[in-house]
Chains A and B, each alone.
Chain A
């Protein structure tokens, strides 16, 4: 086993490397905390958007009634045509 000897300059550089590494560690923690904060804001906004879309979905859920209304209006038109034919027959008889 060799005994690794270090002179004074190497020792100082190692210590400075440790200090710089500690600063980098703190900076990384700060930046990741900022990232977490921003992602939490995004999460809250996405929940708000989801709730708004749910309300919009509830509002547009009744549009399935529109084809039924169109069918009803067609029935009204057919009934009106029947009335037209009936009145035409009756009018011809009354005039004769």
Chain B
């Protein structure tokens, strides 16, 4: 009988000790989890506070940027008009020059053979006498 009583007491003590040990262990783990979850909640509140700035800020930027983009063509149109008005234009000559071929004058060996070299660059002054030079040694009169 004494053995049974002792065994019963030992069993009860072991049960209580096991329950206490496991409860302490679980309590420690749950406390750590609670701390981590509290930190998570704090971080989430910060994220929500940061994200709350995005919507109104982006909407403001979008609206203002649209106004700027719409006003820029007007600005550079006015600037182009000003530049066009203030750019000096070359004055037109009172008496327009005669049209000359873009390829220049054609060299004639026949004229060169007789010592005549027309100076066509001064054609505009053709009205003045003695325009062409004659280097002919045979005494041809200048044209």
Contact = CB atoms under 8 A, between A and B. Distances in A.
Contacts of A90: 82
B67 interface: yes
Contact of A42 (B4, B22, B33, B44): B33
B78 A18 contact: no
Interface string A52-96: 011011001101101101100110110011011001101100110
Given A46-B37, A57-B46, A64-B53, A80 B72 contact: yes
Given A46-B37, A73-B64, A84-B75, A29 B4 contact: no
Size class of the contact patch on chain B: 35 or more
Interface of chain B, main secondary structure: helix
Contacts of B46: 57, 60
B81 A60 contact: no
Contacts, number: 132
A50 B43 CA distance: 8
Size class of the contact patch on chain A: 35 or more
A32 B75 CA distance: 78
A57 B29 contact: no
A84 B82 CA distance: 13
B21 to A, nearest CB: 9
Contacts of A14: 4, 8
B138 to A, nearest CB: 66
| 7 A-B pairs with least C-beta separation | A66-B57, A32-B22, A60-B50, A87-B78, A53-B43, A70-B60, A94-B85
Given A25-B18, A77-B68, 4 more contacts: A17-B8, A32-B18, A73-B64, A84-B78
